[in-house]
Chains A and B, each alone.
Chain A
Amino acid sequence: MVAGLPGTGIGGIFFLLSALLMPVVEFVRTLQGRSNLRRWRFVLRHSGIALGILGAMWATGWLLGQLLFALLRTRISATATAALHPHNVIQAPPLMLTLGVLLAVLLSVGIFRRLFAPRRVPSTA
Chain B
Amino acid sequence: MTVHFSPNREGGFSSFSPGSLLEKPSGVSSAQRAGSTPGEREKGFFQEESARSHLTIIVPAYNEAGCIADTIRSLKTQTVQPDEVMIVDDFSSDGTGDIARSLGVTVLRPAANTGSKAGAQNFALAHVRTKFTMAIDGDTTLAPDAIEKLIAAMAEPGVAAACGFVLPRHVSTLWERGRYIEYMFAFSFYKPVQDYYTKPLISSGCFSIYDTRALKANSGWSQRTMAEDMDLTWSFYQAGHKVRFVPEALCYPIEPHNYAFMAKQLRRWSHGFVQNVMLHWRGILNVPYLRFLISVALWDSVVASIAYLVALPIIAIATRQPLWLLAYVIDLPTVLVPVLSRAIPRREGIKALASIPAFFVLRTVNALFLLEALWTEMVLKRRLAVYEKGH
Give me the interface of A with B, judged by CB distance under 8 Å: 1-12, 14-15, 18-19, 22, 25, 42-43, 46, 49, 52-53, 56-57, 59-61, 64, 68, 89-90, 101-102, 105-106, 108-109, 112-113, 116-118, 120
Contacts and interface: CB of A to CB of B under 8 A. Distances in A.
Contacts of A90: 330
Contact of A1 (B196, B202, B301, B305): B202
B297 A53 contact: no
Given A3-B266, A18-B193, A113-B286, A106 B295 contact: yes
B238 to A, nearest CB: 9
Contacts of B283: 117-118
A6 B193 CA distance: 14
5 contacts: A4-B273, A14-B293, A60-B332, A68-B323, A113-B291
Contact of B300 (A10, A25, A42): A10
Contacts of A46: 189, 192-193, 196
Given A42-B192, A53-B338, A117-B285, A3 B369 contact: yes
Given A49-B341, A118-B282, 12 more contacts: A2-B269, A3-B270, A5-B301, A8-B331, A10-B296, A43-B196, A49-B337, A56-B333, A60-B330, A68-B323, A108-B295, A120-B286
Contacts of A56: 333-334, 336-337
Interface stretch (B48-56, B113-121, B179-187): B179-187
Given A64-B326, A109-B295, A4 B193 contact: no
Interface residues of B, number: 56
In terms of DSSP, what is the predominant structure of the interface of chain B?
Answer: helix
Interface in B263-316: 266, 269-270, 273, 281-283, 285-286, 291-293, 295-297, 299-301, 303-305, 307-308
Contacts of A120: 286
B62 to A, nearest CB: 20
Given A49-B338, A64-B326, A5 B367 contact: yes
B303 A3 contact: no
A1 B337 contact: no
Interface of B: 166, 182-183, 185-186, 188-190, 192-193, 196-197, 201-202, 204, 230, 266, 269-270, 273, 281-283, 285-286, 291-293, 295-297, 299-301, 303-305, 307-308, 323, 326, 330-338, 341, 363, 366-367, 369-370
Given A3-B266, A109-B295, A60 B305 contact: no
B331 A57 contact: yes
B269 A117 contact: no
A7 to B, nearest CB: 4
B300 A9 contact: yes
A49 B185 CA distance: 11
A117 B282 contact: yes
Nearest to B364: A5
Contacts of B369: 3
A29 B273 CA distance: 33
Contact of B292 (A2, A109, A117): A109
B189 A49 contact: yes
